[in-house]
Structure 1
Amino acid sequence: MNLIERAKNITLTPQTEWPVIAEESTTTASLYQHYIAPLSAIPVLASFIGMTLIGISLPLVGTIRTPILLGVTTLVLSFVLGLVAIYLISLIINALAPNFGGEKNPMQALKVTAYAFTPAWLAGILNIIPSLGMLGIIAAFYSFYVLYLGLPVLMKAPKEKAAAYTAVSVICSIVLMVVISTVVGAVGGASLYGAGALHSAQSEEAKGALGELEKMGKQMEDANKKMEAAKKSGDPQAEAKAAAEALGTVMGAGSQAEVVDKDKLKALFPDTIGGLKRSSLEGEKSAMGEFKISKADARYTDDNNHQIQVTVTDTGGSKMFGAMFAWGMMEQDKETDGGYEKMGKVNGRPTHERFQKDGSSGEYSLLVAGRFIVETHGQNVDMAAIKAASAAVGYDKLEAMKNDGAK
């Protein structure tokens, strides 16, 4: 198999290339070594060059670049989790095959997954110019089409069911990629985690994450059996419920507790914090399949432009989410002329804090009881005030709710 020829053929002439692929004999190791790893490296390397070496130019701000250490860390994590994602998606496609008249075949499932990703991987070169990275979305949709053409050939699903098979596979895959992107985005400092060097791969958190990833494949098998039974029953509601449970399995929701009501979370916020009055209080509950979250958000201000925003999110203790969160947390103690960033654990809780020395902004975030994320952002206040606002919601109250809604 010539990598360049295969990549060109599966992208330009997938209809004729899939039958050739179906007849090829290969191994998981060979496919990863000679095709998946080289091509999946394209978008992450391009992103590293684009964000770290070239940067993004913003009006009135200048060029923003990701620090080298952070860029390398993000690159490695993106690459490794990307390899894991391909295998997990192949497990999903394999498990779903009988529900759409196909035949289970793990090797064929891995092949159809890997080769269908080719257009998206090749388009990843656009990430060298960050402003063009969004064009990769078009390539992603084309990859869906390539997958649609490949499923009937490799998984032997009837053509009339290929569209539904593709749709369900894509939905499950997107959900999985969202979870993985949360980890990578966390490393990039987009939300909770900040940046830093990876903790030892032998840590309990890493082992737990890998264990949950392995369990998901087995859980999909169980979910598949339920879907088969529901299909035989001829009950549309039972089929819909089984499909929702399968989606929940991908999200790690099989072990998720029912989330705490948003009003109960809103009740955690006091009227004032450190002389700042509460100016707004909101709550919401969201769901994707069986995966649910609820959160409450409060903002505190005064007349001198001191501001603090506190958000409490309940993930329901999803094991997959918790494992990913723990794996994404890293140990770091970094200080520059402008500020500092720390990451690690405080009283056993994964914690991240970042602060600008001029007091213009800061944040303090942590995971409580393995399910509640408390995020606190401050402007024109010191870190002591930010931490006090975080603690004001009552970590002990959250700990007391850790088993609420447990199934």
Structure 2
Amino acid sequence: MNLIERAKNIILTPQKEWLVIEVENTVTIDLFKNYVAPLAAIPAVASFIGMSIIGFSVPMLGTIRLPIIAGISAMVMSFVFALIGVYLIALLIDALAPQFGATKNPAQALKVAAYSFTPAWLAGILSLLPSLSMLGVLAGLYGIYLLYLGLPVLMKVPQEKAAAYTAVSVVCSILIMIVFTMVVGSVGGGSIYGMGAIPTASRTSETAGTLNELEKMGKKMEEASKKMDDAKKSGDPQAEMKAATEALGVALGGSSQAEVVDKDKLKALLPETIGDLKRNSLEGEKSAMGEFKVAKAEARYADENNHQIKISITDTGGSKMFGAMFAWGMMEQDKETDAGYEKMGKVNGRPTHERFQKDGSTGEYSLLVGGRFLVETRGENVDMATIKTASAAVAYDKLEAMKNEGIKP
């Protein structure tokens, strides 16, 4: 087994690769030594570099770095727990098999668990820049799709029960990973305000509902892979680059195809004043990478007493996978420290994220409207009530009315 080829194939052509994996006689220690350990080391090492060497920016405080010893401890524990986690999740998958008409087989369960983690481990390189680490959630969601494809092949679960088997396995696995994350956080500096948002609840039905979108995404990934192979055979570097860019766009944008709302429409939703704060800047932009499209409008407000508000509206182009990147639909959190608090949940059915420092220096309130519009409001030297009032000034109902705009049938 070649690690690079296996990782590439399980991500780009998973349906074919699971059939190859099914008949392999893989020794457990070899699977861990030659595949799991090298890939699991990527997020552990990258996170250490990102948090302890590069550091992360905190408003009013500048760049903060975790102490080296704490960073090393967290890195080692993260790596060890990744290995243990794969093994425990494999035991879980095997134990659940009879409940869904599948065949108990510890060796096959271990393979399906290990290889399903591939995209999440590879995306761990994003932890070099802590601000990008949330993109790893998207890779984790693709891992759910890989699990969904692998269970019928390796565990012989009937296709009609594969979604339920996947959903229950994922929910139970999340509970396992929550415990691990909490332990790592307690050692590696999880007490630092604003770090380590951990889901405290996950909904089986929502996990299962995501699988349809993931399946569409998987089919597009296979199509993108074929285009990459054809471009490679052509020997045209420009064609290869174009195909690779399209594949990345599919991975980021998921299965939805839509034209984003015009940036000027988004700019029009940002008011000229919010209470005593006057708008002093207004910007709009649109960008695209393959099928992944984004439009954004941003405004800044301030008064003479240095009270500041920044509001941004980002249109993800109707991409449900990009919205799922924030995992709000599957997360709840209520965390409080001496420095501040952080909450994740839903308000009027919309996923929300709220964070505030008790000294009133900074705070933010974000929510997802219509499954595609991300409204982010950040404030300095203002209270949370002011931040939420500023957010509501965007007029969520108007955004909601545009949720299907540009989406192709």
TM-score (norm 1): 0.57
Question: What amino acid sits opposite 2:356 in the alignment?
Answer: F
Q: 2:282·2:297 contact (CA, 8 Å) conserved in 1?
A: yes
Does residue 136 of structure 2 align to residue 180 of structure 1? yes
Provide the residue aligned with 1:305 in structure 2: 306
How has the CA–CA distance of structure 1 residues 256 and 336 changed in structure 2, closer, same or farther, with 3 Å as cutoff? same
1:40 matched to which residue of 2?
39
User: Cα distance, 1:52 vs. partner?
Assistant: 7.6
Return closer, same or farther for 1:53/1:329 CA change in 2, 3 Å cut-off. Answer: farther
- Say which SS state the counterpart of residue 327 (structure 2) adopts: helix
The alpha-carbon deviation at position 357 of structure 1 amounts to 1.3
Distance 1:320 1:227 in 2: 22
Flag the 1:194–1:64 CA change in 2: closer, same or farther, 3 A: closer
1:255 matched to 2:256: yes
| CA distance 1:182–1:225, change in 2 (3 Å) | closer
CA separation of 1:210 and 1:65: change in aligned 2, threshold 3 A: farther
Provide the C-alpha distance between the structure 1 equivalents of 2:331 and 2:31, rounded to a whole number of angstroms. 28
The answer to whether structure 1 residue 348 and structure 2 residue 346 are counterparts is no
2:288 aligned partner? 287
Alignment match, 2:361: 360
State the 1:257 CA deviation. 1.6
Matches within 5 A, 1:6-45: 26=24, 32-45=31-44
Letter in 2 for 1:355: F
Task: Check the 8 A contact 1:227/1:239 in 2, yes or no.
Answer: yes
Q: Aligned partners of 1:324 and 1:206: how far apart in 2?
A: 13
Q: Distance in 2 between matches of 1:373 and 1:243?
A: 27
CA distance in 2, matches of 1:285, 1:62: 29
Q: Counterpart amino acid of 2:314? A: T
**Aligned counterparts of 1:231 and 1:334: Cα–Cα separation in 2:** 49
* Separation of aligned partners in 2, 1:27 and 1:284: 52
TM-score, normalisation: structure 2: 0.57
Say whether the 8 Å CA contact 2:246–2:289 is kept in structure 1.
Answer: no
Spell out the pairing of 1:58-73 with structure 2 (5 A cutoff). Answer: 64-65=65-66
Using the TM superposition, give the Cα deviation of residue 178 of structure 1 relative to its aligned residue in structure 2, in angstroms. 8.8
Q: CA deviation at 1:390?
A: 0.5
The aligned counterpart of 1:266 is 267
- What is residue 104 of structure 2 aligned with on the other side? none
**Paired residues, what number?**
297
Q: CA deviation at 1:394?
A: 0.6
Aligned twin of 1:147:
none
Please tell me whether the aligned partners of residues 44 and 79 of structure 1 are also in contact (alpha carbons under 8 angstroms). no
Q: 1:374 to 1:28 in 2, by over 3 A?
A: farther
Q: Deviations over 1:44-69 (max 9, x none)?
A: 334566678999699x979643999x
Q: Deviations over 1:204-261 (max 9, x none)?
A: 44444555444433223344567899999xxxx9999877654543233541321000
Are the counterparts in 2 of residues 40 and 79 from structure 1 also a CA contact under 8 Å?
no
Matched residues in 2 for 1:219 and 1:212: separation? Answer: 11
Matched-pair contact (CA < 8 Å) for 1:245–1:254: no
**C-alpha deviation, 1:75, in angstroms:** 4.9
Deviation at 1:306, TM superposition (A): 0.5
**63 and 395 in structure 1: CA distance in 2 versus 1, 3 angstrom threshold:** closer
Aligned twin of 1:371: 372
- Indicate if the aligned counterparts of 1:369 and 1:399 stay in contact, CA closer than 8 A: yes
Alpha-carbon spacing, 1:214–1:79, altered in 2? closer, same or farther (3 Å): farther
Contact 2:323 2:368 in 1 (8 A): no
Name the amino acid aligned to 1:384: A
Q: Displacement of 1:37 after TM fit?
A: 1.6
Alpha-carbon distance in structure 1 between the residues aligned to 2:320 and 2:308: 34
Matched, 1:216 2:217: yes
CA contact (8 A) 1:256 1:319 kept: no
For the Cα contact (< 8 Å) 2:315–2:374, is it kept in 1? Answer: yes
Quick one: which amino acid aligns to residue 354 of structure 1? R
Equivalent residue for 1:383? 384
- Give 1:201 deviation, angstroms: 5.0
Seq. identity, %: 57
Cα 1:248/1:63, change in 2 over 3 Å: closer
1:206 touches 1:327 (CA, 8 Å); kept in 2?
A: no
* Alpha carbons of structure 1 residues 371 and 29: separation in structure 2 relative to 1, 3 Å: farther
Change (3 A) 1:178 1:198: closer
Aligned to 1:338: 339
User: Matches of 2:280 and 2:139 in 1, distance apart?
Assistant: 32
Contact 2:328 2:351 in 1 (8 A): no
Distance 2:380 2:311 in 1: 12
Amino acid of the residue matched to residue 278 of structure 1? R
- Alpha-carbon distance between aligned partners in 1 of 2:223 and 2:370, rounded to the nearest angstrom: 28
- TM-aligned CA distance change 1:393 to 1:199, over 3 Å: same
Contact 2:343 2:353 (8 Å CA) reproduced: yes
For 1:353, the aligned partner's letter is: E
Q: How does 1:220-231 map to 2 (within 5 A)?
A: 220-223=221-224
Unmatched runs of 5 consecutive residues or more in structure 2: 5-22, 87-110, 141-180
The equivalent of 2:395 in structure 1 is: 394
Residues 56 and 261 of structure 1: is their aligned pair in 2 closer, same or farther, counting only changes over 3 Å?
Answer: closer
Per-residue CA deviations over 1:102-127 (Å, capped at 9, x if unaligned) read xxxxx9xx99xx8xx99x99xx8xx9
User: Would you say the 8 A contact 1:196–1:330 is kept in 2?
Assistant: no
**Could you say what the CA RMSD is over the residues aligned between the two structures, in angstroms?**
5.3
Are the aligned partners of 1:223 and 1:245 in contact in 2 as well (CA < 8 Å)?
yes
Give yes or no for contact 2:267–2:283 (8 Å, CA) kept in 1: yes
Give the Cα separation in 1 of the matches to 2:319 and 2:300. 27
Question: In the alignment, which residue of structure 2 is the partner of 1:167?
Answer: none
Q: Report matched runs for 1:69-218 at 5 Å.
A: 75=78, 179-180=135-136, 195-200=196-201, 202-209=203-210, 212-218=213-219
